[in-house]
């Protein structure tokens, strides 16, 4: 068949711009230019740019799993027995792995304060077939020790210890001892288990606390990169070379409903990782765990959260995440119910099995818009990373308060945009509507003694990065 393309002229960027200006009827072309939270331009028209780096396609999942990404379910019910039942229910209905949030006080997670408590929460879970990731805050080293003991009977379990004391310090300051002591203790625990568990990841280098506190994409990426370097240094001091340590670090990011920017952010994270890996003499690919943004969810018109969560999951899948964790749409109400738990799983299953998002290695690759925004965000995130390193690293930037000040400025601008209507919230400030009350499962008060996680030295203090929910800052109106 004859190709028709030679019979038609190839339009130039100027041709397209002329058509756009004709439709504007005298309005300036610049009115079509959008901006990200970092002030990066989102142009109405893009063309190929030979000076822009093109991101290489993400690798597929390793091992014997044939899914394009890991559907990970959050388990945070306070009672270990109930948490165990929910874990088994999730695994039998589509989840591939678990994220277990630990909290001896029972306020935000499963009341685990000992190895026996963790054993009750994971009773019957086949740790080599259903990987378990931990979210344990300052208890990370203890949690890793407990999980390592429970996994001994399973062959080469791909556990995710998710040691992340710097995020715990940022969220829960003050730290019970110098933050550096907690980082070193985590690295020692990781090094202790690295040989016995070659498939386990040790650290989670996360920028999520910045996002949840109202930070920008570049700030989240810069903190993520600074965490990678901080944990590599700690692992090297514990006897694990940087090239090997990179293989044991997972990147942690949030995704909200603004999926074009979030896709570019995840691709930028991979580009930043590649540059750090090159400096370490490694070609280890980035492994990213994406969790849905809590700040985007609303406690009014909660069923609208389903749209936001679907967009976040889409961004995670298209952006190249290896694991995606979705909150339930009822999370802002303080818990979940059978429907919201099922929807958190089925949203991903539909994107995976029916929309076939995983059939293409990098769906956004080659699109001029995504390639340029990826490059812009990677450069902006790298600049934030360099500023943090110039201050002495992530712990120093937290202690000085400079990072908190920068994020506070971004949060104020974000809240202002929701209040003035330039960034409306569906079901809250835009098209609010009455909704039948939604009932969540009860969360009974339950607590156990917490282990002593104190390290030697005086407590460190910093300005805590308190999470914000955008819907709390706007009033509903017709």
pLDDT tens digits in sequence order for the chain, 478 residues long = 456 667 788 888 899 899 988 898 889 999 999 999 999 999 999 988 777 766 765 554 444 457 899 999 999 999 999 999 999 999 999 999 999 999 999 999 999 999 999 999 999 999 999 999 999 999 999 999 999 999 998 888 999 999 999 999 999 878 888 899 999 999 999 999 999 999 999 999 999 999 999 999 999 999 999 999 999 999 999 999 999 999 999 999 999 999 999 999 999 999 999 999 999 999 999 999 999 999 999 999 999 999 999 999 999 999 999 999 999 999 999 999 999 999 999 999 999 999 999 888 888 988 999 999 999 999 999 999 999 999 999 999 999 999 999 999 999 999 999 999 888 898 888 888 878 889 999 999 999 999 999 888 888 889 999 999 999 998 755 4
C-beta of residue 344 within 8 angstroms of C-beta of residue 313: no
CA atoms of 30 and 44, how far apart (whole Å): 9
Helix (H) or strand (E) holding 227: helix 217-237
* pLDDT of the residue at 459: 87
* pLDDT of the residue at 2: 58
CA atoms of 314 and 355, how far apart (whole Å): 10
What burial letters (b/e) apply to 139-160, b meaning 16+ CB within 10 Å?
bbbbbbbbbbebbeeeeebbbb
The alpha-helical segments, DSSP class H, found in 338-443 are 338-349, 368-390, 394-400, 402-419
pTM over cut 0.85: yes
List of residues 6+ apart from 330 with CB closer than 8 A? 302, 305, 336, 337, 340, 438, 440
List of residues 6+ apart from 39 with CB closer than 8 A? none
Please provide residue 145's backbone torsions phi and psi, each rounded to the nearest 5 degrees: -65, -45
Name the β-bridge partners of 34: 42
CA atoms of 388 and 222, how far apart (whole Å): 8
């Amino acid at each position: 068949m004859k190709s028709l393309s030679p019979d038609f002229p190839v339009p130039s960027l100027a041709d397209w711009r002329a058509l756009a200006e004709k439709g504007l009827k005298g309005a300036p072309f610049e009115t079509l230019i959008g901006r990200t939270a970092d002030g990066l331009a989102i142009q109405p028209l893009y063309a190929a740019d030979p000076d822009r780096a093109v991101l290489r396609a993400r690798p597929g999942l390793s091992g014997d799993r044939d899914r394009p990404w890991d559907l990970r379910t959050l388990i945070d019910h306070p009672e270990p027995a109930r948490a165990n039942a929910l874990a088994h229910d999730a695994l039998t209905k589509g989840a591939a792995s678990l994220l277990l949030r630990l909290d001896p006080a029972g306020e935000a997670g499963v009341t685990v304060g000992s190895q026996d408590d963790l054993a009750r929460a994971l009773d019957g879970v086949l740790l080599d077939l259903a990987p378990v990731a931990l979210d344990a805050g300052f208890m990370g080293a203890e949690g890793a020790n407990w999980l390592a003991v429970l996994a001994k009977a399973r062959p080469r379990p791909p556990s995710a210890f998710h040691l992340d004391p710097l995020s715990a310090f940022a969220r829960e300051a003050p730290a019970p001892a110098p933050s550096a002591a907690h980082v070193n203790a985590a690295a020692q625990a990781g090094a202790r288990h690295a040989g016995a568990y070659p498939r386990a990841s040790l650290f989670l280098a996360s920028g999520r606390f910045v996002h949840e506190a109202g930070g920008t994409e570049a700030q989240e990426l810069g903190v993520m990169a600074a965490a990678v370097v901080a944990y590599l240094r700690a692992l090297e001091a514990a006897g694990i070379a940087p090239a090997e340590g990179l293989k044991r670090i997972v990147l942690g990011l949030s995704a909200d409903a603004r999926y074009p920017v979030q896709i570019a952010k995840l691709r930028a994270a991979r580009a930043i990782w590649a540059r750090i890996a090159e400096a370490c003499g490694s070609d280890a690919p980035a492994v990213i765990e994406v969790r849905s943004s809590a700040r985007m969810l609303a406690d009014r018109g909660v069923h609208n959260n389903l749209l936001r969560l679907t967009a976040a999951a889409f961004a995670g899948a298209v952006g190249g995440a290896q694991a995606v964790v979705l909150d339930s749409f009822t999370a802002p109400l303080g818990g979940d119910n059978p429907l919201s738990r099922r929807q958190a799983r089925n949203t991903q299953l539909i994107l995976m099995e029916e929309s076939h998002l995983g059939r293409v290695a990098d769906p956004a690759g080659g699109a001029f818009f995504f390639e340029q925004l990826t490059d812009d965000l990677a450069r902006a995130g790298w600049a934030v990373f360099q500023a943090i390193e110039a201050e002495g690293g992530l712990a120093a930037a937290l202690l000085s308060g400079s990072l908190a000040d920068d994020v506070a400025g971004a949060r104020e601008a974000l809240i202002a945009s929701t209040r003035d209507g330039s960034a409306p919230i569906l079901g809250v400030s835009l098209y609010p509507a009455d909704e039948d009350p939604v009932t969540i499962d009860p969360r009974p008060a339950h607590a156990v003694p917490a282990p002593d996680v104190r390290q030697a030295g005086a407590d460190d203090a910093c300005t805590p990065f308190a999470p914000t929910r955008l819907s709390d800052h706007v009033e509903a109106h017709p």
